[in-house]
Amino acid sequence: MNNLLSKHWHHLPLDEVIVLLESNATQGLESFEIARRQENFGPNRLTPKKGKSPLVLFLLQFHQPLVYILLAATVITFVLQEWVDSGVIFGVVLANAIIGYTQESKAIKAIEALTRTLDGTATVIRAGIKQKIAVAELVPGDFVLLQSGDRVPADLRLLQIRELQIDESALTGESVPVYKQVEQLPLETVLADRGNMAYSSTLVTYGTATGMVVATGDDTEIGHINTLIAGADVLATPLTRKINHFSKILLWVILGLAGLAFMAGRLHGESLLDSFMASVALAVGAIPEGLPAAMTIMLAIGVNKMAHRHAIIRKMPAVETLGSTTIICSDKTGTITQNQMTVQHIYAGGRRYAISGTGYAPVGEITLDASKIDPGTRPVLLECLKAGVLCNDSRLIQSNGQWLIEGDPTEGALVVAAAKAGLPQDAVERNFPRIDALPFESQHQYMATLHALDAETAVIYVKGSVESILARCEATCGDNLQPQPLNKERIHQEVEAMAAQGLRILAFARKLQPAATQIVNHDDVAEGLGFLGLQAMMDPPRQEAIAAISACQRAGIQVKMITGDHAATAAAIARQIGLAGTTDTAPRHFAVSGHTLAALPDQELMKTAQQAAVFARVAPEQKLRLVEALQATGHVVAMTGDGVNDAPALKQANIGIAMGMSGTEVAKEAADMVLTDDNFATIEAAVEEGRAVYDNLVKFITWTLPTNIGEGLLVLVAVFFGLTLPITPVQILWINMTTAVLLGLMLAFERKEPGIMAHPPRQPETPILTRELGFRIGLVGLILLAGAFVFFEWALSQEKSIETARTLAVNMFVFGELFYLFNCRSLRYSMFKLGVFSNPWLLLGVIAMALLQVFFTYSPAMNTLFGSAPLEMIDWVFILSGGLLIYGVVGIEKWLRRRAENRRDV
């Protein structure tokens, strides 16, 4: 039996399926055989991947180069018996570890959510007895009964059906319930088109069926998805990769300089202890202690801002990743479109009418050649709309101010279209009561209902596929419903024109009967119908999504549509929303089907993935392959999804985006971000916020590094020339920690700069700091070094105390950073262009830092703790002059760069 699990069950005749499974299509399995198979196949549940223990997960949070540096700083300050500083630095490390552990452990819940979807009971026939059993007890060969409302408990090959419809959107992405059948299908039939199969976790929305279990647990299609989720790589974000690279370089530079300082001290005859303390001072000065805390807090602020724009961030690094995104792969239904089928055109009496309005609200107009018409003057139009209302099992309801459909969305669209023409459902059904009905069956492709028309006449209304309806028609209804010759060629031309727009088309017909008729059967509608017309509908795109896609394209971000829908429908929507244009010079295969993708080798797939705009009828593993192919070509990929089938690709993507309203729990658990409004426009807003967060992080790094460079060089120069250290390790820690919190973090509250969405995304391999910023950092670091050293030596030459001289040097660093902070509010423009008071938090931080330095300088307690001393007024003049010098020099450097850029543009 085990070797049967890889069989293509949809391709086999029913008799062969039953034989291979050694079962019985009426009696089911016997008790002894069930026990043997349960032992052989195991329980019908998904096997969760064995993950790391909580302790290992927690300890791995410390396995980062930047954290090594901070742990080293903790040990160094502990050795120096600076308990407060040691505790603060370790507290930062511990907080980062706790946050990282909490978020990483959430990802494990994705598979647990999948497992929960298999809970419940199933109705089976075993040994000829109908019984309910736990889903976990099902085995291959079990004979299962399905009815409306059931969740399919395992993968089934359908044996018998009656009007069966199954919602497979969570598995395949198909936006409407799928009509099922039992006939054998070709081997190459893709998952979404396997109409003779019912798959585990999908939902029966209509009808009944019997089926035989062909796969359970991990061997089901949803089990394969579970395996894909477990195997998907969790990628480092562009920022974390760059920070790790930067940290590794910094680690070796610091160790190398500290070693040089130690050797220089020994060469100058310093004791082992003094040489070691000099090395410690250099290491502490060069370590950017505030960087991890600043990153965490800035990302958290970005999370809060995005929450106000309907985007909930589950994993904080995703905030920055959004700003690096180069491609957005979006689902169609509900994200780009409204997920509300809407009739847009009606063909009746030889004319095509347009209907305005979108969604389920019964508000809109009917026009002919762009002119509004009164439907009451068009009998054949009214009759076509009336047929759509009466030959219908769905209802339009209003709840909490919203219009909703109970039943099939396609049928709901017909009800809404009639209401726009003044034919409310309740009134029409009351005037023409239903007598009998023939439900839709996939083998017939139509539905028929019998209604009382008047005292002498009854009428049969029929709706269905164009082919099935036209084959039964002998005439068409003219403007006043009079019979006219049927022009099938003309009708097919209309059908082709509508289908080219991606519209779903239903045909309508009627047949008059004697009033005494009480039953309608298939023979009654086999011939002699009068053709009424066509109604063409689609799930219309969101207007805000169209604007958002345009904004993304202007920002250099490609948008691709990946959907379970048919290629023609998806391509039509793509053209409406502006995805038809190319974003490269190569010829573009606009829409590619899942069937085509399956045959492509990896190299060809990478090429196609970049060129195509639409991917239709895509299987779960193909979504994963597409994401991997785009990543292999260097793209940062954002992937949206709402179904179980999307979870592997969501986890593999650089940023997975799940739908909050329509999304499954599995998709939400696998995603980095959840949209609370299921709207593509929210993604564009989140990208904008992500770019702003990254900009502010770069501003912070550009602001903080000159201090570390200046402090490290100051210690190194003093050691090399055998001079007294101008700043002690404890004073260095004071500078680094207080300025990072009160000054640097205030950059997190900077507003987005103009034109943030007018430039292309950063290339993934672009370093955090450009050469221009590197030059600026080095320039400011040298000014801080020179100012602190000159002030220190000047104070000693004036026979001031060593404490006073060091206090001068400390304040030079603090106020130099304070003035430089105003330069860093924008890396390109002056703060006057941004608005001096546009960031009140920064001004509060500056005031708080200035007051704290006054306290540091004049408080006896601080003088004792940090070795500081009171300063005279002339000392403050020097300090403020040094700060103003930095602000002026950087301002001139930015102005010169802008002028050079403007000349190049000209």
CA 830 to chain centre: 36
Strand order through the sheet with 673-675 = 311-313, 673-675, 655-659, 637-641, 327-330, 558-562, 614-616, 591-593
Strands (E) across 650-771 are located at: 655-659, 673-675
Task: Please confirm, yes or no, whether 331 is among the known catalytic residues.
Answer: yes
- Which two tokens mark 794? 């000047």
Q: Is residue 161 a contact partner of residue 443, using CB atoms and an 8 Å limit? A: no
Are residues 806 and 731 in contact, defined by beta-carbon separation less than 8 angstroms? yes
Q: How far apart are CA 873 and CA 281, in angstroms?
A: 29
Do the Cβ atoms of 567 and 374 come closer than 8 Å? Answer: no
At residue 118, φ and ψ (nearest 5 deg) are -95, 5
Burial pattern 107-121, b for ≥16 Cβ within 10 A else e, equals: beebbebbeebbeee
Q: Residue 180 gets which letter from DSSP?
A: P
Give dist(CA 340, CA 176) in Å, integer: 10
CA distance 327 to 317: 18
Write out 829-885 in H/E/C secondary structure: CCHHHHCCCCCHHHHHHHHHHHHHHHHHHHCHHHHHHHCCCCCCHHHHHHHHHHHHH
C-alpha to C-alpha distance for 319 and 316, rounded to whole angstroms: 6
504 C-beta neighbours (distance < 10 Å), count: 19
Burial of 47 (0-12, 13-18, 19+ CB in 10 A): middle
* Strand-pair partners of 447: 463
Cα 151 from Cα 117, distance rounded (Å): 9
Q: How many helices (H) and strands (E) does the chain have?
A: 32, 28
As a whole number of angstroms, the distance between CA 421 and CA 742 comes to: 65
Give the Å distances, CA to CA, from 700 to 90, 339, 741: 21, 43, 11
Helix (H) or strand (E) holding 651: helix 647-652
- How far apart CA 643 and CA 888 sit, in angstroms, is 56
CA–CA gap between residue 214 and residue 4 (Å, rounded): 8
Q: Where are the beta strands (DSSP E) in 69-220?
A: 121-126, 129-134, 143-147, 155-167, 178-179, 197-198, 203-215
Long-range interactions of 239-243: CB distance < 8 A, separation 24+:
239/295, 239/317, 239/320, 239/321, 239/324, 239/694, 239/697, 239/768, 240/317, 242/767, 242/768, 243/66, 243/295, 243/768
Q: Please, which residues have CB within 8 angstroms of residue 545's CB and are 6 or more apart in sequence?
A: 335, 336, 337, 577, 679, 680, 681
Dihedral pair phi/psi, residue 506, rounded to 5°: -120, 140
Task: Give first-to-last CA distance, the chain, whole Å.
Answer: 75
Token pair belonging to 474? 């002998």
3-state SS assignment for residue 565 = coil
Spatial CA neighbour of 241 closest among 895, 828, 766: 766
DSSP code, position 562: E
Catalytic residue among 150, 155, 167, 331: 331
Instruction: Report yes or no: 686 and 311 within 8 Å, Cβ to Cβ.
Output: yes
Cα dihedral sign, 895-898-900-906: negative
Residues with catalytic function = 331
